[in-house]
Amino acid sequence: AWGWGLQGGSRLWVLEAPRSLCAHACAQTGAGMFTPVSPGRPKDYALPNASWSRDMLDLYDRFLAMTKEGLWKRIPSYNNVLDHIPGKALRGLPSRKKDTRLFLRSIEAEGVGFEYVMFLNSSEKRVVCLFQPGSYLEGHPGFAHGGSIATIIDSTIGSCAIFVAGRVMTANLSINYMSPVPLGSVVLVDSKVDKVEGRKVFLSCKVQSVDGGTLHAEATGKDRVQVAQGVCKRVGVGLC
């Protein structure tokens, strides 16, 4: 079920999953689950892989269908923050070190760490993250560690703040945990910017089960826009 194919001119693409799952993804997205392996192109981890559950694939298809209407955009996800920032905006940022990785993408094996994909709705100042916690994120037996939930919340609201206000740092994150998240389940991490006051960005976030029946956590965040040379530096980020 595994194979290599040549697509799009000389680009060599790697089929990332059993053909059946890939057929599913190809049918839905056209882009399918191919990860471009041409040299220098980072791997986009925010694409379906063999570890994604039925719920995760169905939710992904639902949001991907909404991107066709133009309001939502899928945010690609690389294993280093700097790969999200187009060349011209990298000026003034620390140069990339070879051995660093984005914390959420620090486990290369599929399905055991943070399996997630984020979608941005600019007009609603909202980022929704589909998250499937893997077995290496365990806290209490069978449930995701509270720190992994804090991480996915922090990254979702951080991404939301970045798209709305530019480069930010999290100044304050307050989380109420209402119901533990079972490992392997799928939750929706739904964040939005509530207000911006000067360099302060105020956000809120809910972590809910796919059917909306369970509220797992609620959070508020305050991010701080980093000011570069006296001007908020907007960091353009690739979207697709």
Ligand X SMILES: CCCCCCCCCCCCCC(=O)SCCNC(=O)CCNC(=O)[C@H](O)C(C)(C)COP(=O)(O)OP(=O)(O)OC[C@H]1O[C@@H](n2cnc3c(N)ncnc32)[C@H](O)[C@@H]1OP(=O)(O)O
Residue 214: how many CB atoms within 10 A of its CB?
15
Smallest gap, in angstroms, from Cβ of residue 30 to ligand X? Answer: 23
User: Which residue of this chain has its Cβ atom nearest to ligand X in the complex?
Assistant: 158
Smallest gap, in angstroms, from Cβ of residue 142 to ligand X? Answer: 27
Distance between CA 64 and CA 29 in Å, rounded? Answer: 7
Which lies closer to ligand X via its Cβ, residue 26 or residue 232?
232
Which lies closer to ligand X via its Cβ, residue 74 or residue 84?
84
Among 25, 64, 75, 217, the residue binding ligand X under the rule CB under 6 A is: 75
Smallest gap, in angstroms, from Cβ of residue 87 to ligand X? Answer: 15
Q: According to the binding rule CB under 6 A, does residue 148 interact with ligand X?
A: no
Sole residue written with tokens 């939301």: 160
Smallest gap, in angstroms, from Cβ of residue 164 to ligand X? Answer: 10
Distance between CA 238 and CA 94 in Å, rounded? Answer: 19
Q: Directed axis angle between helix 54-67 and helix 19-29, to 10°?
A: 20
- The DSSP 8-state label assigned to residue 42 in this structure reads P
**Residue 26: half-sphere exposure toward Cβ, Cα within 13 Å:** 11
Assess contact for 13 and 5: CB atoms under 8 A: yes
SS3 content of the chain, % helix, strand, coil (to 5): 25, 30, 40
Catalytic-labelled residue, pool 44, 83, 154, 223 = 154
Assess contact for 220 and 202: CB atoms under 8 A: yes
Which lies closer to ligand X via its Cβ, residue 84 or residue 125?
84
* Contacts to ligand X from residues 76-105, by CB under 6 A: 81, 84, 102
Q: Is 55 among the catalytic positions?
A: no
* Contacts to ligand X from residues 197-236, by CB under 6 A: 200, 222, 224
SS3 of residue 79 by DSSP: coil
* Contacts to ligand X from residues 165-194, by CB under 6 A: 169-172
Q: How many residues touch ligand X (CB under 6 A)?
A: 18
Active-site residue set: 154
Q: Which residues make up the interface to ligand X (CB under 6 A)?
A: 75, 81, 84, 102, 154-155, 158-159, 162-163, 169-172, 200, 222, 224, 237
